Amino acid sequence: MDVRKRTLIATALVLGVAAGPAAAHTAAAAAPGAGAVAVRVPAEATERPLYTAPPDAAALRKAIAGVGPESKDATAALVRVGGTSGRWVGSSGVADVRTGRKAFDDARFRAGSVTKTFTAAMVLQLAAEGTVDLDRPVQQYLPGLLPSGPGGFEPISVRQLLNYTSGIPAADGPGDSFEAQYAHRYDVVDPHGLIAEAAAKGPEFRPGERQHYLNIDYTVLGVLIEKLTGTTYEQALSARILGPLGLRHTSVPSRTESRLAGPHHHGYQAVAKPGGGTSLVDVTEWNSSAGWAAGDLISTTADLERFTQALFTGRVVPKAQLEEMFTVPAVADFETGKAAEQTAGLARFALPDGTVVYGKTGSRFGYSTVIGGARDLSRTLVYSVNSTDAKGREMNPVAYGIVAAAFAR
């Protein structure tokens, strides 16, 4: 296998994509126009950009060709490739398999764990303001939240929550299977209850010894944001990020909301039928309060592209604190034993040819999302793929093709 092909495969693998095949409408952008996002390069980026050639439009069109109601992998795909090296925008598939309405670029979707990047950004803003000390134990800010003493929790720093090295275990949900979770899709979950349930189990490991990527760390951070700002998480997000960046189509639903408001793509999960084959179950309506500060965001690809570019240039988090989002703790992953990859709200991916990209994946049933790119902003990628098995362990072919095409050099 040649080096280029190995690089493409590795790129897709490390980004943890989940999605399926897709016929594209494209908007290649040379000059900025409607919907284009101006890219400001960090002042310190004086070396040759990682990406200098424009995105491979043919490869990107091929990656999303075939998506739709008849695809076994995905019903729709939205893609934005940007950066100083060039631009490509494409969509494919249908917004609703019942009506056959075509996918559209400004559709809203559930962004899953991409929410964590926004949560981390707010905590780092508070650190820059002197409101929170990343090295101070969270127990000092939220007394009584985690039990101490024999079998309890040692002091856990705010930084250890940000980079998933806290040792707090996951709370129990209704079950791992789609069927179990679907039966409870309208449940309203209180974050304090989730934390209490997780804390009752005791620590998985001593703080700082391992990295375990779990939602619970960011649930605690959501509670911390509310305590420090004196507002709700949703109000803080709007005041600190959504409003200043003009992200008018991004929101976190209320705790009791199950609908996906505004023009949106429907999400579907493929389930086995008796006697063979699969059918699509509409999973668009789903209360996501269990995800909250870790996975409740609703957005569009245009808003997420704007956010990613603003984040990487230091316009969301001051540069001193922004380094936390590009710093991986020197520990092993709790489950695999391999070197950690997660940072505060992002993840670092080193490709075989030496290229390093940073990004965040997110998945909810029916929806797979990615944001990220080269730190010098020579190439960025945002996509939403309506995967028919968004929580599956196998890589979705559509998302694989998108990532491989977007980061080809």
Percentage of the residues of the chain whose pLDDT score is greater than 70: 88
What is the tens place of the pLDDT at every residue in 77-128?
Answer: 999 999 999 999 999 999 999 999 999 999 999 999 999 999 999 999 999 9
Q: Is residue 373 within 8 Å of residue 357, measured between CB atoms?
A: yes
β-bridge pairing 88-93 and 74-82? antiparallel
Residue 34 structure tokens: 């409607």
The Cα 242–Cα 303 span in angstroms is 9
pLDDT at residue 398 greater than cutoff 70: yes
Per-residue pLDDT, 386? 98
Query: How many Cβ atoms sit within 10 Å of the Cβ of residue 385?
Result: 33
Closest CA to 105 of 37, 19, 12, 30: 37
Distance of CA 137 to the CA centre of its chain: 26
> Is residue 34 very low, low, confident or very high in pLDDT (cuts 50, 70, 90)?
very low
**CB under 8 Å to 185, separation ≥6 — which residues?**
258, 283, 285, 286, 287
Per-residue pLDDT, 160? 98
> Is residue 354 very low, low, confident or very high in pLDDT (cuts 50, 70, 90)?
confident
Least confident of 18-32, 241-255, 294-308: 18-32
Between residues 131 and 23, the one the model is more confident about: 131
> Is residue 352 very low, low, confident or very high in pLDDT (cuts 50, 70, 90)?
low
Per-residue pLDDT, 15? 53
Helix (H, G, I), strand (E, B) or coil at 10: helix
45-57 mean pLDDT? 85
pLDDT at residue 44 greater than cutoff 90: no
Closest CA to 310 of 367, 361, 382: 382
What is the rounded average pLDDT for all residues in the chain?
90
Least confident of 111-115, 189-193, 393-397: 393-397
358-367 mean pLDDT? 96
Q: 118-240 maps to which CATH number?
A: 3.40.710.10
Question: E strand or H helix at 90, and its extent?
Answer: strand 88-93
pLDDT at residue 157 greater than cutoff 50: yes
What is the tens place of the pLDDT at every residue in 299-313?
Answer: 999 999 999 999 999
pLDDT at residue 53 greater than cutoff 90: yes
The Cα 134–Cα 126 span in angstroms is 10
DSSP string, 103-168: P-TT-BEEEETTHHHHHHHHHHHHHHTTS--TTSBHHHHSTTSS--STTSPPP-BHHHHHTT-S-P
In the chain, domain spans = 3-109+254-287+363-406, 118-240
**CB under 8 Å to 275, separation ≥6 — which residues?**
none
Per-residue pLDDT, 5? 41
What is the tens place of the pLDDT at every residue in 370-380?
Answer: 999 999 999 99
Percentage of the residues of the chain whose pLDDT score is greater than 90: 81
Per-residue pLDDT, 111? 98
Per-residue pLDDT, 28? 40
Q: Quick one: angle between helices 216-229 and 115-128, nearest 10?
A: 40
Q: Is residue 232 within 8 Å of residue 222, measured between CB atoms?
A: no
